[in-house]
């Protein structure tokens, strides 16, 4: 088992297996939200409450523009499902999370996450997937993946719950040394 490092084994057991199991059930709904009463008037922006559609569009536009100026433009136009109710969020298996990005399938924003910094955070995860690859991204340290999303989204919270506060601090000092232009090439070495 020389080629299977402990880190890879851990990722396989704790990340890939549950993720695959989850993929088999819930994301079918992300791919086909129409099946569960979600409307997507524009293919990539979906809502469970049409009265909040303009709000969702504004958050989507702000998020993509922000990420483009902060890092680089997304290659894709990611699908984002904005849930205004817990019932909707549960349908997509959000659980205790505020929002989640499921590889390239799409992002689900829960009722607590209709805020610009949450949407930017998820868009940063989409960009990470594009630049690093969805599977290689699973092998990157949390201080890079989550630290980048919390830091560069300009999340206004002074202190985040751990481990995210430490992730953000570690990312900030790394990013100060690396800079925007070399972030993806430097990330390959992590």
Is residue 42 within 8 Å of 33, Cβ to Cβ?
Answer: no
With contacts defined by CB under 5 A, name the span among 36-44, 102-110, 112-120, 148-156 that binds Zn ion. 148-156
The CB-of-146 to Zn ion minimum distance in angstroms stands at 5
With contacts defined by CB under 5 A, name the span among 2-10, 29-37, 136-144, 145-153 that binds Zn ion. 145-153
Residue closer to Zn ion by CB (options 45, 148) is 148
| Contact status: 149 vs Zn ion (CB under 5 A) | yes
The CB-of-108 to Zn ion minimum distance in angstroms stands at 12
Residue closer to Zn ion by CB (options 38, 99) is 99
| Contact status: 126 vs Zn ion (CB under 5 A) | no
Residue closer to Zn ion by CB (options 36, 70) is 70
Residue closer to Zn ion by CB (options 40, 98) is 98
- Considering only residues 31-60, where is the footprint of Zn ion by CB under 5 A? none
Residue closest to 156 by CA, chosen among 107, 121, 109, 110: 121
Residue closer to Zn ion by CB (options 40, 136) is 136
Residue of minimal CB distance from Zn ion?
A: 149
Residue closer to Zn ion by CB (options 36, 137) is 137
Residue 119, classified by CB atoms within 10 Å of its CB into exposed (0-12), middle (13-18) or buried (19+), is: buried
- Bridge partners, residue 139, by sequence: none
Is residue 98 within 8 Å of 118, Cβ to Cβ?
Answer: yes
With contacts defined by CB under 5 A, name the span among 4-12, 26-34, 44-52, 147-155 that binds Zn ion. 147-155
With contacts defined by CB under 5 A, name the span among 50-58, 61-69, 76-84, 140-148 that binds Zn ion. 140-148
Residue the block writes with tokens 């481990």: 163
Residue the block writes with tokens 């919390």: 150
Which stretches of the chain bind Zn ion, using CB under 5 A? Answer: 146, 149
């Amino acid at each position: 088992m020389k080629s299977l490092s402990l880190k890879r084994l851990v990722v396989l057991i704790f990340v890939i297996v549950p993720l695959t199991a989850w993929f088999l059930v819930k994301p079918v709904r992300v791919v086909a939200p129409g099946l569960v009463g979600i409307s997507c008037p524009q293919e990539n922006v979906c809502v469970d409450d049409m009265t909040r559609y303009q709000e969702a569009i504004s958050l989507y536009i702000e998020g993509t523009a922000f990420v483009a100026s902060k890092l680089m433009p997304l290659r894709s136009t990611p699908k984002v499902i904005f849930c205004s109710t817990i019932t909707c969020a549960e349908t997509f298996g959000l659980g205790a999370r505020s929002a989640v990005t499921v590889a390239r399938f799409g992002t689900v924003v829960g009722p607590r996450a209709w805020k610009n910094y949450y949407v930017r955070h998820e868009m940063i995860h989409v960009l990470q997937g594009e630049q690093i690859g969805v599977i290689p991204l699973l092998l990157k340290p949390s201080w890079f993946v989550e630290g980048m999303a919390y830091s560069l989204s300009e999340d206004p919270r002074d202190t985040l719950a751990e481990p995210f506060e430490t992730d953000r601090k570690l990312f900030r000092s790394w990013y100060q040394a690396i800079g925007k232009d070399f972030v993806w090439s430097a990330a390959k070495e992590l």
